[in-house]
Structure 1
């Protein structure tokens, strides 16, 4: 069955490439059919029955832990959080076959004392290590869900926010351990390293649903899916404006559906990643088969791939979405010559942007970083029916690497009303244009007077 799926996927991709079009009726349906929603048993437990109090003052951590334990004994179930504000001094650790359901008017607020968050196996900017537990965390679980009309608040604008200026030591050590391939069991961070935890993270897990809840104020990335499979993310709303408050980070994960999401983030709305440098290249776990549709972007960047993408990113399909407010970049594909790996088979269609700094930006030379030992390959990128208003810097940038040129890029029906700079193409091959208009569309030339 798996081989038949791969054959169908390859044929669909070849069909798209040969026709230079976006075929959402075939390949997207194939990906959707591979995604299973979680199966949750009928058992239900209300956290207030276990001592939780929605007054915003009492520490409800013990009640939530009891609820998770009760579900575990029943081989799964739903934890109901009724209207109220529930403070948790410590994380929620998921077990399999559990749904966390926040009723309308319910809000979970996580405390900001690092001592309340034990070290767990996680990843920080693409490097595997042990660090403070994300506030909602699951590892090696299946059939899990977070849903409802409530709010999840990471309270990241207090103590956690001060850690951004202190993280350099920990960040550099993590990257050194990555490059030296230090055994993971020796990569112990936590106190003194100031690496902020994510708000929601699932690792090595499958059949995950996160829907409808509102995400606020994360210490670091908001929702991080790592080495997981069969993921549905829909109906989410964001109000997250701290440093590095990416909305969704999809890392080394596959079979992902992202739809009907309202982003409002201080950083990337959607960032597709695949591990950093040696960790990523050695893992051989790419991010692939990702569908993005009917989303509303707002924040720093809308659609981003990279820069941690060393295991490879492929088969990404984004369509029928729009942006509001000013964005730094609309579509941003980034890597450098230390990453290795590839970004290929990326298709975007029917996306409407407003004002941006750069409209479409693809680079193999992100921040000018890299030794040149592991350049990345960017290829087979098809963008169509995409519009922008005012571009304050450059309309289109495609920048390859001398020995690994960006190739097979199709730009079809791209409309940019005005731009300070038009286009920069360096180290590229087979870039095609059809109905690409930067500035006012020109027709009949003016007459000679």
Structure 2
């Protein structure tokens, strides 16, 4: 096991919210606190309507057999007519053969012991709707819960959303490659979006929950399980609150929250248990992402418990850029392969900057912190600018592979990274850095911390 103890004090200039600030690295906590306060002032959860629609009064049955889609569709129509309503789902198991399409000013409340479970006949999720798949806009099967161009919407309660992915769409994983490659080719050629028609026979799995071009969003309290693809996808949306959500989703690509082209997001007090990433921050893929120019920004993740593949990920589809991300006061609920993972390659372009990690603890991981400009070893001509990452009060019990890895690009080095008060008790390899500039270590211990030296000759 390699060991390293580094103590360095230094100051630097960096950008935060567009203003250049000269600051000693020990003062970043003040800047971080002020920035978080400013973001929180912009985020307000939607108000719940006083109009109540009890789904069972419309004929719905929580018997796990009745197809309740007609009743959920009727409830949404009534909410639209009333200019807002709370749709209440009492205890029971409600089969829904097809998607739920949200309307504005609507809250879906899943009460304790209520579960909605989606049918597995892919035809029920057609016609295709405008959505996104791995960073490229396409027409595809409808997400199971789809909120498109709406505002003031919420999913709340102590119930469960079950995507039934294991017995349904998740079985398509091994069949998706031809259509997946086609989406990427359309992206690079900038094929008109109206011509990007997938759906039938494409085998591109839909997201479980997607908010698209929407604002004033709340998801609170519910348990999310068995997703066919990504669990919750915030796409080109803003003013988002996600709190006290519980994940238990173990299929392939079952990310918890995917935040894409979105801003002003609070993720608070969440329990993660995902077969893939817990929180992934994205901003479009390759040429389409660069030309869209809609960064994901002003994102706070706090007071949460991580378990799954990777805890916090930025990339790899982040071509519009990611900035102003704050992760604080969180810990682990189990194994994560990587605690912090920033990934891009020379096909992406864009930037990752102004990222703050503070007061976060992990148990056993493979790599504690991994930053790479060579994701999958792909790409040329569009290197990503990665700079201004501040990691403070960061602890890991054991890294079976590496403590800190930074892989910049020869023509665009990773720069202005500050590690302060970092302790990794054990690591097979302590630090690996290539193509970097201005990497600062302040009170960093990887391996066993040495004590007072022996006075013996």
TM-score, normalised by the number of residues in structure 1: 0.96
Give the alignment of 1:49-198 within 5 angstroms.
Answer: 49-118=57-126, 119-198=128-207
Kept in 1, the 8 Å contact 2:25–2:418? The answer is no
User: Partners in 1 of 2:309 and 2:350 — Cα distance?
Assistant: 25
Displacement of 1:314: 0.1
Kept in 2, the 8 Å contact 1:22–1:347? The answer is no
What residue in structure 2 maps to residue 219 of structure 1?
228
User: Partners in 1 of 2:80 and 2:98 — Cα distance?
Assistant: 19
Gaps of 5+ in 1: 1-6
Closer, same or farther in 2 for the Cα pair 1:367/1:446, shift >3 Å?
A: farther
Runs of 4+ in 1 over 6 A off after TM superposition: none
Q: 1:298 aligns with which of 307, 311, 322?
A: 307
Closer, same or farther in 2 for the Cα pair 1:345/1:16, shift >3 Å?
A: farther
Closer, same or farther in 2 for the Cα pair 1:96/1:441, shift >3 Å?
A: same
Deviations 1:371-410 (A, max 9, x none): x210100000000100001111111001100111000000
Displacement of 1:25: 3.2
Deviations 1:335-378 (A, max 9, x none): 000000000000000000000000000001111111x2101000
Asked whether 1:210 is paired with 2:219, we answer yes
Closer, same or farther in 2 for the Cα pair 1:162/1:234, shift >3 Å?
A: same
What residue in structure 2 maps to residue 4 of structure 1?
none
Kept in 2, the 8 Å contact 1:408–1:429? The answer is yes
User: Partners in 2 of 1:214 and 1:417 — Cα distance?
Assistant: 34
What residue in structure 2 maps to residue 332 of structure 1?
341
User: Partners in 2 of 1:290 and 1:300 — Cα distance?
Assistant: 21
What residue in structure 1 maps to residue 391 of structure 2?
383
Displacement of 1:157: 0.4
Give the alignment of 1:309-388 within 5 angstroms.
Answer: 309-370=318-379, 372-388=380-396
What residue in structure 1 maps to residue 438 of structure 2?
430
Kept in 2, the 8 Å contact 1:20–1:410? The answer is no
Secondary structure of 1:163's match?
Answer: helix
Kept in 2, the 8 Å contact 1:379–1:409? The answer is yes
Equivalent pairs counted in the alignment come to: 441
Displacement of 1:40: 3.6
Displacement of 1:315: 0.2
Asked whether 1:33 is paired with 2:41, we answer yes
What residue in structure 1 maps to residue 6 of structure 2?
none
Measured on the aligned residues, the alpha-carbon RMSD in Å equals 1.4
User: Partners in 2 of 1:318 and 1:366 — Cα distance?
Assistant: 23
Closer, same or farther in 2 for the Cα pair 1:15/1:107, shift >3 Å?
A: farther
What residue in structure 1 maps to residue 408 of structure 2?
400
Q: 1:231 aligns with which of 236, 240, 243?
A: 240
What residue in structure 2 maps to residue 14 of structure 1?
21
User: Partners in 2 of 1:8 and 1:353 — Cα distance?
Assistant: 27
User: Partners in 2 of 1:351 and 1:256 — Cα distance?
Assistant: 19
Displacement of 1:112: 1.1
Displacement of 1:10: 4.0
